[in-house]
Structure formats: C-alpha cells, structure tokens
C-alpha cells in the first residue's frame, strides 16, 4: 500500500470503528414497496402476494422525525420497484424537500417516470440494474428493458450521478459483464458488481454458487473474497448491522438484507425506539458472530474495516480484542488489489 492509501485506510477505519461502537445508524435502506412488474430469475419479489406499501406518513413520522436520523443519514429508496409505489412522488418530495442525501433505485421499467422524477425532485443519486444487454437481459429479468436503462443513462448522465449495478448470476456470463462494463465506460457512469446469493426476502429458488474464474480480473477486493467465503475460508465480524438496517413495505425493520429477522415494526414504534431498545442491542451483539452472507449491500463495510484493523494492529491484539478471524485472507485480497 502506498502512503496515501495507508492514511485513508487508517482514517476510514477509525471512523468506521467509532460508528460501530456507538451504533450510529449511517444508512437506512427502505424497500418502500414489494410490488414489481419484472420477472427476474434471481429475485422473486415480483411474485409476492398481498403487497405492502410503506406510507409517506409513516416514513415521515416514524423514520425521518426519529432521533436516530440526522442530515448525515444516507437513504437507499428501493423495493421491489420503487416506482411501483402508488405514492412514490410524495416519498421523493419528503426526502428532497427535507434535504436528505439518498439514492433512488430502479429496474428501468418506467423510463419516462424515472427521468421526470429525477428532474422534478432533484434526486441526488440514481442506481439502476443492468445484468446484461439484449437477450441476456431478457433471460435474467424475463422482460425486455435494457434499452430503457440505456435511454435513462443518455438522458440523465449529465444531471445526476448514475450507478449501474451488475449482478453476476447463473443466467449471465463474463461476456455480459464485459459488455455492461464497456457501456459504463462509454457513458461515464459508475459500474458496480454484486453476486447472486439467497436473501430470505427475495424468495430465490437456486442456491448461490462460486463465481467462475474468468470474472476475476473485474472483481473488487471485496468480490474477490466471495469464493473463499463460499469455501468457508473467510470469516470476519459482522459490524455493518450496527450502522445499517432494512425497512420493508410492511413497516418491519430487518436486521440486514440477507436475514428477514424483524427488529420491530414502525406501526408500533419509531425507528429510534426500535434501534435503541435493549432487545435490538442484544441482537446486534449476537449477530456480530454471523458470517452467513457475502452480500455487496452489507459486507464490504466489514471487509474494509477488517482490512484496516489487520493493517495497523498486531494479530495477537486483534485476536484478543475481537476474536480469531481470518485476518490474513482479507489482507491478501486487499494487498493484491492495491
Ligand atoms: C432487489 S433489487 C431492488 C431494486 C430494483 N428493483 C432493481 O432491480 O434494481 C436491488 C439489487 O439487488 C440485486 N439482486 C437481485 N437478486 C439478487 C440476488 N439473489 N442476490 C444478489 N443480488 C440480487 C438486483 O440485481 C439489484 O441490483
Ligand atoms: S431484482 Fe428488482 S426488478 Fe427484479 S424482481 Fe427483484 S425487485 Fe423486481
Ligand atoms: S453476516 Fe449475517 S448478520 Fe451480517 S449481514 Fe450477513 S446475514 Fe446479516
């Protein structure tokens, strides 16, 4: 690691460790609805019956007005499909008029609405999924919307930071990843890679597997640890749950994206009351030991913090303070990536 990178790793590590210790809720993901008109093979949220939509009133009263939320809190507004929420405009108005920092996630099925919403509500960040182009997109998602995603990029790329998420899954291959990566480079938008797993809420049918070796040159340090994690060669503490939670359309607050473990419901308590309760503190302590997922929406925080700790603290101290984890495996992935 060069000196600049070392200094950044140390600075971020100290900040992250402090936030974990004081359980600062940094990011709140709100799955405002479980409605979705896509037909994905890697996620069956679209197949849920008796849909739930979180109302703007509950979002305002039980989340935004709650004392664990500040202007530093980052929100991920997602679903299901965010734009399938019958009151998505009211929700965007709440966040934009309140001056919150957030990202709107969409599958790109509604390009007119997406473009208009970004402009009207000055959405600060836009995330769209693109798991392949043309036939691959249709194969993965069961609908034909890749061109919509490209159109939204073309119309909005100079107006809003765009993040394109590619999920490596059993229905796409490295040539699809390369095509989407090229598109991102051409259009000047950020490219993110995640990998197929089995979050309980997604009702997946096929078990997750290893990422094939042709993908390796494209993987981040974190994603390079996916296969070793699958082989049970990577075990690090789960710290991110002290800084992030998932809120569902039903008002249930979930521990993380992987586990539908309910911390409380917003129709009974505010987010602050749930977050600060003794029961939830105990759950967070218990799941510190959990290593049951390697999801790109939860665990990069843990890998980065493990890397920071193991870069600056001797192993005996780490093991004494935190327990015996696979510090060397994390270090190796991050060293090879620098
Ligand atoms: C659940 S979607 C919600 C937002 C929006 N409906 C979309 O598709 O972008 C959020 C992200 O999760 C990814 N995803 C879906 N199924 C997954 C799975 N089984 N494992 C990991 N990521 C998955 C999607 O590709 C997408 O990038
Ligand atoms: S990945 Fe997104 S678009 Fe596909 S079913 Fe899940 S929520 Fe819907
Ligand atoms: S490691 Fe366990 S507790 Fe942590 S995010 Fe994954 S499933 Fe949730």
CA-nearest of 93, 154, 85, 81 to 123 is 93
* Segments of 114-156 assigned E as strands: 125-129
266-304 pLDDT per residue, tens:
999 999 999 999 999 999 999 999 999 999 999 999 999
**What's residue 337's pLDDT?**
60
Give the tens place of pLDDT for each residue, 41-82.
999 999 999 999 999 999 999 999 999 999 999 999 999 999
Per-residue pLDDT of the chain in tens (338 residues, 90 and over written 9): 688 888 999 999 999 999 999 999 999 999 999 999 999 999 999 999 999 999 999 999 999 999 999 999 999 999 999 999 999 999 999 999 999 999 999 999 999 999 999 999 999 999 999 999 999 999 999 999 999 999 999 999 999 999 999 999 999 999 999 999 999 999 999 999 999 999 999 999 999 999 999 999 999 999 999 999 999 999 999 999 999 999 999 999 999 999 999 999 999 999 999 999 999 999 999 999 999 999 999 999 999 999 999 999 999 999 999 999 999 999 999 887 64
The CA distances from residue 69 to 256, 275, 298, 301, in Å, are: 18, 11, 19, 20
Which residues have C-beta within 8 Å of that of residue 281, sequence separation ≥ 6?
23
- Closest atom of ligand 1 to 128 CA is 9
CA separation for the pair 277, 284 (Å, rounded):
11
- Are the C-beta atoms of residues 242 and 285 closer than 8 Å to each other? no
Ligand 2 proximity of 43 Cβ (cutoff 6 Å): yes
What atom of ligand 2 comes closest to residue 36's alpha carbon? 8
Nearest C-alpha to atom 4 of ligand 2 is from which residue? 40
First to last CA, the chain: 6
pTM above 0.95, yes or no: yes
Residue closest by Cα to atom 8 of ligand 3: 256
Which atom of ligand 2 lies nearest, measured to the CA of 107?
3
- Atom of ligand 3 at shortest distance to CA of 256? 8
Nearest CA to ligand 3 atom 1: 291
Query: Ligand 1 centroid to 128 CA: how many Å?
Result: 10
* Contacts within 8 Å (CB) and 24+ apart, 194-197: 194/165, 194/166, 194/167, 194/168, 194/223, 194/295, 194/296, 194/297, 195/167, 195/168, 195/169, 195/223, 195/226, 195/294, 195/296, 196/42, 196/167, 196/168, 196/169, 196/170, 197/258, 197/293, 197/294, 197/295
What pLDDT is attached to residue 3? 85
How far, in Å, from the CA of 306 to the mean position of ligand 3? 15
Pocket of ligand 1 (CB under 6 A): 36, 42-43, 78-79, 81, 105, 107, 129, 131, 165, 167, 194, 196-197, 202, 204
> From the CA of 260, which ligand is nearest?
3
Q: Record the tokens describing residue 194, joined without a space.
A: 């995640």
**What pLDDT does 1 receive?**
64
Give the E-state strand segments of the chain in sequence order: 27-33, 74-79, 101-106, 125-129, 162-168, 190-195, 244-247, 252-254, 262-265
């Amino acid at each position: 690691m060069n000196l600049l990178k070392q200094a950044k790793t140390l600075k971020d590590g100290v900040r992250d460790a402090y936030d974990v210790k004081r359980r600062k809720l940094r990011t709140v993901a709100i799955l405002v609805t479980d409605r979705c008109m896509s037909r994905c093979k890697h996620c069956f949220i679209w197949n849920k019956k008796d849909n739930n939509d979180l109302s703007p009133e509950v979002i305002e009263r039980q989340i935004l007005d709650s004392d664990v939320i500040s202007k530093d809190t980052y929100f991920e507004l997602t679903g299901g499909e965010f734009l399938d929420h019958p009151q998505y405009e009211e929700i965007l108005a709440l966040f934009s008029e309140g001056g919150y920092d957030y990202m709107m996630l969409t599958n790109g099925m509604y390009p007119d609405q997406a473009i208009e919403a970004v402009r009207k509500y000055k959405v600060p960040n836009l995330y769209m999924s693109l798991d392949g182009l043309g036939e691959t997109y249709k194969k993965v998602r069961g609908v034909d919307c890749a061109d919509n995603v490209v159109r939204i990029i073309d119309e909005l790329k100079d107006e809003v930071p765009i993040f394109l998420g590619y999920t490596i899954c059993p229905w796409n291959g490295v040539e699809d990843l390369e095509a989407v990566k090229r598109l991102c480079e051409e259009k000047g938008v950020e490219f993110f890679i995640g990998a197929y797993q089995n979050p309980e809420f997604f009702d997946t049918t096929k078990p997750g597997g290893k990422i094939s070796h042709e993908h390796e040159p494209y993987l981040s340090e974190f994603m390079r640890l996916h296969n070793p994690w699958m082989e049970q060669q990577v075990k690090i503490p789960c710290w991110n749950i002290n800084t992030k939670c998932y809120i569902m359309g039903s008002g249930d607050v979930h521990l993380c994206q992987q586990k539908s473990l309910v911390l409380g419901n917003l129709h009974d308590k505010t987010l602050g009351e749930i977050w600060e309760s003794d029961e939830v503190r105990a759950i967070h302590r218990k799941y510190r030991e959990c290593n049951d997922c390697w999801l790109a929406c939860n665990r990069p925080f843990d890998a980065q913090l493990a890397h920071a700790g193991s870069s600056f603290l001797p192993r005996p101290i780490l093991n004494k303070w935190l327990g015996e984890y696979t510090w060397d495996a994390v270090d190796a992935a991050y060293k090879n990536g620098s």
